[in-house]
Amino acid sequence: MTEDHAEVVVYWRPGCPYCMKLRMRMRLAKLPRTEVNIWRDPEAAAFVRSVADGNETVPTVTVGGKVMVNPSMRQVREAVRAQAPRAGA
């Protein structure tokens, strides 16, 4: 899936304040990532539902295979350090 192109993938949707906050923090931290709008990518939306008890809970972030639903920036940084150190945190 999308993870082939980046070690950090952020699944989001327009209008989600939690997504906006996390994406802004990731931008400010200059954390390399791929951002996927689940409203434009049905496969991504299905993936999010598969890891979020059938819900489209966003942001959902994958880091080197680890999946986090609605993580904090701190959790993302810790996952990057542990799972994808080349991405930098």
Q: 3-state class of 27 per DSSP?
A: helix
Q: Mean pLDDT across the stretch 22-28?
A: 97
Count of CB atoms within 10 A of residue 70's CB? 15
Is 4's pLDDT higher than 60? no
The rounded distance, in Å, linking the Cα atoms of 85 and 27 is 17
Please provide the size of the chain in residues: 89
Q: Mean pLDDT across the stretch 51-75?
A: 95
Beta strands in 1-89, from DSSP E residues, in sequence order: 8-12, 34-37, 60-63, 66-69
**What domains lie within the chain, and their CATH numbers?**
2-87 (3.40.30.10)
The confidence band for 9, taking pLDDT boundaries of 50, 70 and 90, is very high
